[in-house]
Chains A and B, each alone.
Chain A
């Protein structure tokens, strides 16, 4: 600022330094919240800081978080997929049906993944091919997929999954680290790289910020969106395999209401519900926070309804605080 006379003025990419941005970022806030919850839980219950108990607790969020990664990408691109829980139900039902026909674990996994991809492709075709709003399409397929599941199962249940299949939901890779938790970590890394380090990730942000501009910049909007819906279908199928293996049975009511928990996780993770911004580390932190709150309250035998209220308040305050902070700062500078 001192040398005003120079002809070429330097315009910084960002107004704040890297450090200042990090301190004020959403993720930092989430880390603080997570640490606070961790501390409170450790003091409140003597059972919290036990490796096996914490390991058991990870099952509260791993499956939902897997879907949340793909959902984050969909929401950043300005769309939404509310059919994920129903895809879990249909995938689980189809796998259960395959068990009755005598298929073994590798075939079951393949059948599960294919079912999820088909569901995702159906959503993707309706959204991109017919240019229908995704919220309407996926509310429809939410009923459709679970309806099919009810049609096949009625009030019955599929059981008798092979013992090797249960490893996906009950097995441990090393010490207290379950297969589900390791998969959660691996997927977090993969999605982090895809969103933050690849052209595809940049395209997702571009579409979410301004679809028309993205289109004119040569981004194949339709194709990217189609892939995103394929991904949520695939992730719902993976979650379905884990959940079905963990429960050892399938009922049409499996994973009822999970779509909203997944969306909550994504929004709490700092993804703008209107699209355009958000990060995978944020979603990971939100998953950890929701898992720890559920487990911590469970240890204190707090009724579930209080838990829902707490998550709701957390969601509102985490969203409101930065906005209030900005308002306050803006007013002061005038």
Chain B
């Protein structure tokens, strides 16, 4: 009997405490594709940073164990039940989450997607880590920054039909005029296969003796190209750059085959998603043309599909690649 009484009292107190805590703090849920992935753990780090900065925000970092839509829906249902104030989700499925997220929005929860988006009817806005023009500009800038006198550069892409790479290269060509003396002499396709990318790079090195840089806007290509340059003994002569993962590129940055490369920064992404969610809870409206606050990352402007780009891709070089290699 006594035990039961103690239990009841404890429960009552904890309920009361939760109720008061609820009135003070805003609960923002960061839902990821699956737990235990370095990229998302880093995003959580950024989200916690944002919560600390805001003071009155509690970040709930959660997600399923496997990257399934069904698992994420179970998580979203339990978040709706907890009456969180906002859900920021990196979706496992563009469409399948829509009914669950619609229900969340019906109950007054602010829903945004980040990294991997949800169909427009299932969210208020989507935060892209970057935008095609920003990426196109960044990859040529990375090559040009190390070539003050200009020179020949070549592009090693994925497949000739891959949408992302083609758009980025197109955007790159648009701004090529801003970089004096840089000539793009060739574009080859490694099909996102390590061995084909390696052979295509060897071909580039042989047919263009004055080649100064190789731009590979693909994480498979950039590693293969750096390896081919290393094996050909051209370190210092040819700089490999583009988009890659820190964990795969750390060695090549150390050896000098790649002076720098870019990719999104997951910490900034988690931070910005939390800041935007907080801004929406505070009454900001997500509509085309609106500008939402992202704390130290500035503001994000929404396009006609309520999507926004966070920032330039983040540059990794010898000063920070080791640190991020541990994350993703």
Which residues of A are at the interface with B, using a C-beta cutoff of 8 A? 43, 45-47, 50, 53, 56-57, 59-60, 157, 159, 166, 169-170, 243, 246-249, 251, 253-257, 294-295, 298-299, 301, 303-305, 307-308
Contacts and interface: CB of A to CB of B under 8 A. Distances in A.
Contact of B74 (A166, A298, A308): A298
B99 A157 contact: no
B36 A305 contact: yes
B1 to A, nearest CB: 16
A59 B95 contact: no
B68 A157 contact: no
A41 to B, nearest CB: 11
A67 to B, nearest CB: 14
A255 B70 contact: yes
B15 A294 contact: no
B96 A251 contact: yes
Interface in B74-89: 74-75, 77-83
Given A46-B19, A166-B99, A299-B82, A304 B77 contact: no
A249 B102 CA distance: 14
A63 B266 CA distance: 36
B96 A247 contact: yes
B93 interface: yes
A251 B78 contact: no
Interface in B191-241: none
B68 A56 contact: no
Contact of A248 (B7, B66, B80, B95): B95
A196 B19 CA distance: 48
Interface in B129-182: none
Contacts of B18: 46
Nearest 7 A/B pairs, CB to CB: A298-B78, A249-B95, A304-B65, A53-B81, A247-B96, A43-B11, A56-B77
A304 B7 contact: no
Nearest to A245: B99
Interface stretch (B46-54, B56-64, B281-289, B315-323): B56-64
Interface of B: 7, 11, 15, 18-19, 35-36, 60, 62-66, 68-71, 73-75, 77-83, 93-96, 98-99
B192 to A, nearest CB: 14
Given A56-B80, A305-B36, A46 B75 contact: no
A159 to B, nearest CB: 5
Contact of A157 (B35, B66, B70, B95): B95
Contacts of A249: 93, 95-96, 98
Contacts of A295: 74, 77-78, 81
Contacts of A301: 60, 62, 78, 82
B24 to A, nearest CB: 16
Chain B contact residues, majority secondary structure: helix
Contacts of B66: 256-257
A307 B66 CA distance: 12
A169 B147 CA distance: 59
Given A301-B60, A305-B36, 7 more contacts: A46-B15, A60-B77, A243-B70, A247-B70, A249-B95, A295-B78, A304-B63
B95 A298 contact: no
Contacts of A159: 95
A302 to B, nearest CB: 9
A186 to B, nearest CB: 23
A305 B99 CA distance: 25
A305 B74 CA distance: 14
A299 B95 contact: no
B95 A247 contact: yes
A305 B75 CA distance: 13
A300 B95 CA distance: 27
Contacts of A308: 65
A37 B93 CA distance: 32
Nearest to A249: B95
Given A60-B74, A305-B35, A43 B7 contact: yes
Contacts of B77: 56-57, 59-60, 295, 298
Contact of A47 (B11, B65, B71, B81): B81
B68 A170 contact: no
B62 A248 contact: no
Contacts of B80: 53, 56
B98 A303 contact: no
B69 to A, nearest CB: 6
A314 B71 CA distance: 20
Contact of A305 (B60, B65, B69, B96): B65
A307 B65 CA distance: 9
Contacts of A303: 35, 62, 65
A253 B95 CA distance: 13
A50 B77 CA distance: 13
20 contacts: A43-B11, A45-B82, A47-B81, A50-B81, A53-B80, A53-B81, A59-B77, A157-B96, A247-B73, A247-B96, A249-B96, A251-B69, A253-B68, A294-B74, A298-B74, A301-B62, A304-B63, A304-B71, A305-B36, A305-B65
Contacts of B70: 243, 247, 254-255
A250 to B, nearest CB: 9
B74 A246 contact: no
Contacts of A305: 35-36, 65
Contacts of B36: 305
Contact of A170 (B71, B96, B99): B99
Contacts of A298: 74-75, 77-79, 81
Instruction: Pick from B7, B18, B74, B82 the residue with the most CB of A within 10 Å.
Output: B74
A60 B76 CA distance: 11
Contacts of A256: 66, 68
Nearest to A294: B74
Contact of B64 (A157, A246, A304): A304
Contact of A247 (B63, B81, B82, B99): B99
A249 B119 CA distance: 12
A262 B13 CA distance: 39
